[in-house]
Amino acid sequence: MKTFGIDITSADIIDNLSFFDSWDDRYRYIIDLGKELPAMDTIDHIDENLIRGCQSKVWLSSENRAGRLYFNVDSDAFIVKGLLAIVMAAYNGKTPEEIRAFDIQGFFESIDLMRHLSTTRGSGLQAMVARIQSLAA
């Protein structure tokens, strides 16, 4: 099984999305990415791991291993799981310094993501990013 952030990077996401001409195809790819996320144990579906500000339910837990942050994520919505996979490609397995230094907004712009999300979905995505960045602070 491939690990987001290590085997599947933000550069891979940019490259793969560039193959698709339509956003319908890009959405299908994003949903498929979400299906590749490792399953989160339901025991981690607790309020402490719930991200506020998301339209769907989103859970995020983290673990620091040898100075690198590893995340386990889940959502009750397929498209949101795909968005989580994109965020994991950027942040998972990175040091706190790498997370803080990564230009996530530039990454989203390079794949033209925010323009194709509803306002509430975009706000939820920003809430996910804020939680990860606070964990790296």
Q: Give the integer Cα–Cα distance in Å for 14 and 84.
A: 15
First-to-final CA distance of the chain: 29
Of 54, 58, 83, 129, the catalytic one is 54
| Residue 95 is a catalytic residue | no
Q: What is the largest CA-CA distance in the chain?
A: 41
Ramachandran assignment for 5, one of left (phi > 0), alpha (psi -120 to 50 degrees), beta (any other): left
Tokens of 117: 């999300």
Q: Catalytic amino acids?
A: 54
